[in-house]
Amino acid sequence: MSNSIFGTPDVIVVGAGNAASCAALSAREAGAKVIMLEAAPEEQDAGNSRFTGGGFRFAFRGWDDLIQIMPDMTDKEKETFDFGSYTEADYLDDMGRTTNYRTDPDLCEILVNRSFETMLWLRDKGVRFEPTFALSFKEGDKIKFWGGLACVMAGGGPGLMTSEHLACKKAGITIFHETPVFGLITDENRRVIGVRALSKGKLVEIRAKAVVLACGGFEANTEMRTRYLGPGWDVAKVRGSRFNTGAGITMALEIGAMSYGNYSGCHATGWELNAPAFGDLSVGDQFQKHSYPLGIMVNARGERFIDEGADIRIYTYAKYGREVLQQPGQFAWQIYDAKTIPLLRSEYRIKRITKVTANSLEDLVKKLDGVDADACLREIKAFNEAVQVNVPFRPAVKDGRGTVGLKVPKTNWANRIDEPPFEAYAVTCGITFTFGGLKINTSSEVEDVAGKPIAGLYAAGELVGGLFYGNYPAGAGIMAGSIFGRIAGRSAALQANQS
């Protein structure tokens, strides 16, 4: 098929999500002619970026920094809101401890040190940010924000992509939808000179001077999930896009790229048991169930299996989905009582939810489908007896209100489950994105197995390996996509200018 509809691009960006959009905008800034190729139809485009709730984790020193990101803050809000600070050292520490210090030091340093400047760049591109009220609490006359996650994008993932795609349109960047890329074209020197794709059902070859891969991980590919993550992952729910099938990783490996990072690891959370197999944009991220630190979780044997209060939610939620998947039947029930029900997050109030209620524990456990009711009742009573009720309960900080003598302790926010009414919510594992991918250098060039850059090939977003291992601090993924997308786009444009 003729390439006429695609023009003569200098840079092809594969994908249309946050990382891809940042790459395209950055390449255009550097003077390149850019097109974007997206596998999905327009109403489902942008990969997982459209599904994100949208926290951005970046380093900031205090109000002087934040007011540059959120210039619409009022004088009263400035007086009332207390964000504290989140320094580069704090960010590095969070990246280290959540990844068991396996994070690639060079990539991690770029993520941390270029986070604030990239937020300013996004702001300049039209992305709007607002305070992360879900991570705030009132103390006296102040509203304090915790966890280092100060900002979310206005309008969540859809708002982010509307802003970035509008910026792309203004910059003269065309997004070609329903144009899945399935291969890279190389010359006799293994230099990438274009892509093979499907357009309107026909095979096309589109030539360019550089290609940026930013089309997601392999979370929506059942075969790759099971091959790399292991048994049981074939039944995991996909929280986001059905189009993130690992195509970018596969086509790069086929020309000699180096696989890198935590291929057996992923971002996985507690997710509505009866959610659809893939994300539903009408619900967004509201199938998540993230108030587990306020209650307890039990499996089919009626047993608790994790420390629900090990840390602030934003440092545990991305790894606890794996724990749920490893339980009998790949499900669990979250249990709360009248003391904590009013504190549950908004996603517990949606219509599409698997929920039971009762006025006694005896009645509640009988309603927990698939659970050994007698064992569960014993577990709850043992938990209640172990709670350190003499320690004050403070839901907005790590309060040290734990349990004593249990095989599986609860370290913080332990409350007896003893005040009716009682509620329980069924969850399974929802996979967000995978941690294994391609090896890149600090210029976002894809490296081969010998550690040398593959000329003309760049990568950003989920398909970059090496940053996250086993877990991650909330908001770091989308921040990394923005930073390395920006780097990849500029690097690709410079390469094109030299060709």
Distance (Å, whole) CA 110 – CA 107: 5
| SS3 label, residue 27 | helix
In a domain, 411, yes or no: yes
**Domain end residue (candidates: 407, 429, 451):** 429
Cis peptide leading into 421, omega within 30 of 0?
yes
**Tokens 């064992």, located at residue:** 375
In a domain, 169, yes or no: yes
Res 188: pLDDT: 94
Cα angle: 19, vertex 22, 26; to 5 degrees:
140
- For residues 308 and 410, the answer to whether their CB atoms sit within 8 Å is yes
In a domain, 258, yes or no: no
We report the CATH number of the domain holding residue 418 as 3.90.700.10
Q: How many domains does the chain have?
A: 2
Nearest to residue 456, comparing CAs of 468, 466, 444? 444
Q: Do residues 176 and 106 share a domain?
A: yes
Residues of the chain with pLDDT under 50: 1-2
Q: Do residues 302 and 386 share a domain?
A: yes
Q: Do residues 101 and 144 share a domain?
A: yes
Report how far apart, in Å, the C-alpha atoms of 251 and of each of 14, 28, 234, 435 are.
12, 25, 22, 17
We report the CATH number of the domain holding residue 93 as 3.50.50.60
**Domain end residue (candidates: 410, 429, 448):** 429
In a domain, 234, yes or no: no
Read off the tokens for 244.
């993130």
- Which residue type does 361 have? L
Distance (Å, whole) CA 270 – CA 345: 13
In a domain, 213, yes or no: yes
Write the pLDDT tens digit of every residue in 53-72: 889 999 999 999 999 999 98
Distance (Å, whole) CA 168 – CA 175: 9
- For residues 494 and 131, the answer to whether their CB atoms sit within 8 Å is no
Write the pLDDT tens digit of every residue in 439-496: 999 999 999 999 999 999 999 999 999 999 999 999 999 999 999 999 999 999 999 9
Distance (Å, whole) CA 26 – CA 20: 10
- Ordered DSSP codes for 73-108: --HHHHHHEE---B-HHHHHHHHHHHTTT-S-HHHH
Q: Do residues 106 and 65 share a domain?
A: yes
Q: Do residues 448 and 377 share a domain?
A: no
Write the pLDDT tens digit of every residue in 144-168: 888 889 999 999 999 999 999 999 9
Burial code (b: 16+ CB inside 10 Å, e: under 16) for 86-104 equals: bebebbbebbeebbeebbb
Res 53: pLDDT: 85
Q: Do residues 415 and 467 share a domain?
A: no
3-state secondary structure 231-269: CCHHHCEECCCCCCCCHHHHHHHHCCECEEEEEEEEEEE
Query: 155: which residues sit within 8 A by CB, 6+ positions away?
Result: 128, 162
pTM of the prediction? Answer: 0.95
Q: Do residues 203 and 306 share a domain?
A: no
H helical segments located in 239-360: 247-254, 317-325
**Domain end residue (candidates: 400, 429, 458):** 429
Q: Do residues 293 and 177 share a domain?
A: no
Q: Do residues 296 and 159 share a domain?
A: no
Distance (Å, whole) CA 341 – CA 196: 53
In a domain, 326, yes or no: yes
Instruction: Dihedral sign for Cα 209, 214, 219, 225, please.
Output: positive
In a domain, 225, yes or no: no
Q: Do residues 425 and 447 share a domain?
A: no
Q: Do residues 367 and 421 share a domain?
A: yes
Q: Do residues 387 and 451 share a domain?
A: no
Res 79: pLDDT: 87
In a domain, 386, yes or no: yes
- Residue 328 is part of which domain span? 268-429
- For residues 218 and 247, the answer to whether their CB atoms sit within 8 Å is no
- Report how far apart the first and last C-alpha atoms of the chain are (Å, whole number): 25
Res 138: pLDDT: 79
